[in-house]
Amino acid sequence: MRPGMMTIYRTSIYFMLTSIVFSTLLLSGCKDTKKRPVMRIGYMNCNNEQETMQRFLPLTRYLSEKLDVEFVAVPVDTHDFEKRFRDGEFTFTHTNSLIYIILRENYKLGLIASDKRGNFGARTGGAIIARKGSGITKLSDIRGKRMVFGPMLAPTGYLAEYDLMLRSGIDPEKDLAYYAIPSGSYKHEKLVYGVLFGQYDVAAAPLLDLEVMTREGKIAPDDFVILAQTPIIPYCTFGADSKTDPKLIAKFRQALLDLKPSDTVEINGERIKVLKAAWADGYEELLDSDYNTIRDMARRVNMPPYQKY
């Protein structure tokens, strides 16, 4: 090969190799840029981990797509929630309203939005019920009777009804024959059925569960007498660690508020409706002061985060 041709050949090879290296670096840079940060959302188990993941995996996928963050859903037992949050296992939380207050008071959890579901939207209440025809027709009739509550950390299955009884001059520790809390999953349904089939005389039933069970045909409105009803209080709530970027929290909130019943995500090749899967009608932004009614209940009942031994 002549010297001039050799120079041209070497120059061509040089530019070709330079282009390959540049392209590789460029693609590598793009790949790094597209890599999304990973953040975890702790979801409080209502019944079991499998149900929790079925409910909230589509919502988690939706939030990942909207915020360009790789969110990971973490099912959490109610009684483990505070410890696992304190240990930094997740940044965002989805809990009942009493757990929200505990984390707010002890760790300055930020409020994002509350679930809307059923007749009362972002709020719900509890009731003390008896089986129709049992002879129990008013609240004062429950003295000396057998009662069943929901889980102890349930705002409308335990706290609100316990507080209602105290404010009505009935001490659950002294004035009942006894009271119990069902074991295992589906505690709210179990207490409703417990009264319906005579295992207990009265029960602390969440209004939302009565509404849903009636809609599903499991019970009929005429099956029960509502002896008393509690105040309406905020329902399940999303929160965020206080160290989280406020701009990310704002985007998280807006993504929830923007959700429509028709919004879907793909899970294992299937299009899933996000709100329907999450058992929610939508989300609403509340003020922390909207939770003060629950705080007052917890103080009167001597429950966390205000419990005094």
Same-domain pairing of 77 and 211: no
Same-domain pairing of 207 and 273: no
Same-domain pairing of 190 and 46: no
State the DSSP string of 30-94: HHHHHPPPEEEEEEE-SS-HHHHHHHHHHHHHHHHHHHT-EEEEEEE-GGGHHHHHHTTS-SEEE
Residue after which a domain boundary falls, among 169, 203, 230 = 230
Residue after which a domain boundary falls, among 213, 230, 247 = 230
Structure tokens at 89: 């296992």
Same-domain pairing of 215 and 269: no
- For the chain, the C-alpha Rg in angstroms (whole number) is 27
Give the CATH number of the domain where residue 190 resides.
3.40.190.10
Same-domain pairing of 165 and 180: yes
Residue 276, CB-side half-sphere exposure with 13 Å CA sphere: 8
163: in domain: yes
Tens digit of pLDDT at every position of the chain (309 positions): 445 544 445 545 444 544 444 444 444 444 444 689 999 999 999 889 999 999 999 999 999 999 999 999 999 999 999 999 999 999 999 999 999 999 999 999 999 999 999 999 999 999 999 999 999 999 999 999 999 999 999 999 999 999 999 999 999 999 999 999 998 888 899 999 999 999 999 999 999 999 999 999 999 989 999 999 999 999 999 999 999 999 999 999 999 999 999 999 999 999 999 999 999 999 999 999 999 999 999 999 999 999 997
144: in domain: yes
Same-domain pairing of 196 and 287: no
Structure tokens at 20: 């390959």
Structural domain span for residue 240: 38-121+234-301
Cβ-in-10-Å burial (0-12, 13-18, 19+) of 50 comes to exposed
Residue after which a domain boundary falls, among 200, 230, 260 = 230
